Amino acid sequence: MPMKIRVVPWITGECSLYAIVRDGVCLPDIYIETLQEKYPDDAFRLMAVLDWLAERSIIRPSLLRPERPELGVYALYNHKEISHTKYNPCRLLCSYVGPTSNILVVGSGFVKSRNEPIQMNGVANFEAEFLGIVAKALHERIKHGEVIISGSKLVAVYLDSLEF
């Protein structure tokens, strides 16, 4: 049975983050819930970054770490611009949507090892490749007019425009 994949609003504001829901499971929610159990302080700091981003007018590339740039996949994490936070190894995989810098589609995440590239982490690499496929399909739907960008919102033209 094929996977059912949807892209749904997750965090909205000046910038919006859309979550990938795979077979009824919201990938970033599950990742953050896991972090809250294992690394509560890191989970709190990551959520603070997400709230901070929603208040910005753009999500500058300097705020994201390239993980699989050839796939358009980056990692959201505590950044030095947010001075009141310390380094956090927890990463949330994301990709820009559309021609602007105010919408991200967000997938799962992983805990980054300083010495290990994402390609050496089988689960994280799978999730990065999965996100890259969904982001590419979403870009195609935007290009063909099935999804319209209005400000920082994705507007589905058809009922299934945000389903894959």
> Domain boundaries in the chain?
5-156
- Between 13 and 19, name the one with better pLDDT: 19
Helix (H) or strand (E) holding 107: strand 103-111
How far lies 129's CA from each of 20, 94, 107, in Å? 13, 11, 10
Give the pLDDT score at 100.
Answer: 85
pLDDT of residue 83 exceeding 70, the answer is no
Residue with tokens 């063909």: 144
Confidence at 80, pLDDT banded by 50, 70, 90:
low
Cα(132)–Cα(138) distance, integer angstroms: 10
Give the pLDDT score at 114.
Answer: 76
Give the pLDDT score at 86.
Answer: 67
Q: pLDDT exceeding 90 applies to what percent of the chain?
A: 69
Partners of residue 18 on adjacent β-strands: 9, 105
Flag the least confident range among 3-12, 50-59, 65-74, 134-143: 50-59
Query: What does DSSP say about strands 103-111 and 16-22: parallel, antiparallel, or unpaired?
Result: parallel
- Between 77 and 150, name the one with better pLDDT: 150
pLDDT digits (tens, 9 = 90+) for 129-141: 999 999 999 999 9
Give the pLDDT score at 1.
Answer: 67
